[in-house]
Amino acid sequence: MNAVTARDMRIRDLEQRILVLERVCGEAYQLAGTVGAPEKALDNLAAAAGGEPIPHATFLPVSAADCDELARPDKVHAAPGHGKASPFSA
């Protein structure tokens, strides 16, 4: 295998990995919305899932008290998406 072929294969592998990670970020966005994660977390996950620039350097630290649904365990769980329509299809 020559260097060009090896490079092209590596690029294809990396492109596939990016697609998988974007899908995982989309799934994580839906989970984060369900637990009422902070807006910065939702922003970063949505951007990562969409292949866009990440708006916040970090959304950490996060505690259970920062997540609306976890901070109020007596509250009936809201619909997924933290009151937002999910930008990702299931």
pLDDT tens, residue by residue, 43-79: 999 999 999 999 999 999 999 999 988 887 666 554 4
8's tokens? 């092209």
Evaluate whether 57 touches 12 at the Cβ level (below 8 Å): no
pLDDT tens, residue by residue, 5-46: 999 999 999 999 999 999 999 999 999 999 999 999 999 999
Instruction: State the pLDDT at residue 88.
Output: 58
Instruction: State the pLDDT at residue 70.
Output: 85
